[in-house]
Amino acid sequence: MKKKMLLAAGCLMALAAHADGAYSYLTFTHNNLAEQSFSAADLTITFENGQAVVAQNGNKTTLALDDLQKMRFTAEPAGVEEVVAEANGPLTVVSLSGQRVGTFKDKATMERSLKKGLYVVKTAGKTYKYEAR
């Protein structure tokens, strides 16, 4: 309950900061340090059953409150975030040392092929962080 109240208070304070138009994105930081950004325009957040439901333009994203470290308004979207389930191929995977690992047709194929470690995944004009376990 305390975490929900802190997140709600953070939302209200961040909304006040956003009012001047300097910050265009709401960015969530997950416990694994992955960041996920949403355009602040027409964004609504509700809290239910231990989850934050982020809604925008008919799309809804559910975030477990236990998995969130913080949220803040930013001028730019997060450049690296966790690969989402909807990510379709081709997925180009690069190691953190910059070595190209391969290109995969979809996320499931990529997950089966990668060795344990951290990677950068590029797809559909977006870049994600991915941890293979």
**Confidence bin at 47 (pLDDT 50/70/90):** very high
Give the separation between CA 98 and CA 114, rounded to whole angstroms. Answer: 15
* Mean pLDDT computed over every residue of the chain: 78
What pLDDT, on the 0 to 100 scale, is given for residue 18?
47
Furthest CA-CA distance within the chain: 46
pLDDT at 123: 78
pTM for the whole structure:
0.49
CATH code for the domain defined by 2-74: 2.30.30
Q: Is the pLDDT of residue 95 over 60?
A: yes
Reply yes or no on whether the pLDDT at 4 is more than 70.
no
Whether 40 contacts 27, CB under 8 Å? no
Q: What residues does each domain of the chain span?
A: 2-74, 83-132
User: What is the arithmetic mean of pLDDT over 30-51?
Assistant: 84
